[in-house]
Amino acid sequence: MKKEKFLFILAFILFAQLSYSQLIMIDGETGEYKYEDIVTVTGQSQQELLRRAKEWLELYYPESASVKIVERSSYTRTGMYKFRWKLIQKDIPVTLFYDIDIKTKDNKYKYAFSNFREGKMYGNEIDANPLKVYVDRFPTRYQIYLEEPIDTEITKAISSLEYYILNGTVENLDNDW
């Protein structure tokens, strides 16, 4: 009987701990926030994937600086996402900056959304702190409300990228039925 109570309490503690899990992907090596994956696309050359990646970056992030070619097979750009975070009863404006890297090879590409930071843009310069530092300032129970819109936006961007690479057009998300 004591063993069953112990197991029940242990299961409850584990459940409670998992319910406070992070939404944003965390890199196991650096501990920083990062979304990355390698996607296989059959029948597309490296040049076609690279062209579509550049087009998608220009369409999805028109307000950002120009797309930079890092290598002959990759592009990078800084993305920006603004939203309002409700902390208790106060709205806090958040401006999120992050790097998007897309590398291509024949029949596959790799994307990485990394270097997340919160701050402001002054002219063409970004003045920002790492997102992890910004998030850790707040109590754990409120962090999920900050992470949720970020996770939603990055997941939406990844879905849009995958659709554009496959179809060459922007996904129509018009739900007006």
User: What does the pLDDT look like over 128-159, one tens digit per residue?
Assistant: 999 988 888 888 888 888 888 999 999 999 99
In a domain, 2, yes or no: no
| Structure-token match 């920083």, residue found | 32
Mean pLDDT, rounded, of the chain = 81
- Supply the DSSP string of 63-94, one letter for each residue: TSPPPEEEETTEEEEEEEEEEEEEETTEEEEE
Give CA 173 to chain center in angstroms.
19
Domain count across the chain:
1
In a domain, 174, yes or no: no
In a domain, 10, yes or no: no
pLDDT at 163: 94
pLDDT at 6: 54
Q: How much is the average pLDDT of 91-97?
A: 90
In a domain, 108, yes or no: yes
In a domain, 91, yes or no: yes
**Position with higher pLDDT, 175 vs 33:** 33
In a domain, 110, yes or no: yes
Helix (H) or strand (E) holding 151: helix 140-167
Would you call 158 exposed, middle or buried from its count of C-beta atoms within 10 A (0-12, 13-18, 19+)?
middle
In a domain, 1, yes or no: no
Asked if 135 and 146 count as a contact pair (C-beta separation under 8 A), the reply is: yes
Nearest to 32 by CA among 112, 144, 103: 112
* Tokens read off for 133: 């530092």
Question: What is the value of pTM for the model shown?
Answer: 0.77
Q: What is the CATH number of the domain that holds 136?
A: 3.30.530.80
In a domain, 8, yes or no: no
Which residue range(s) make up the domain with 73? 39-167
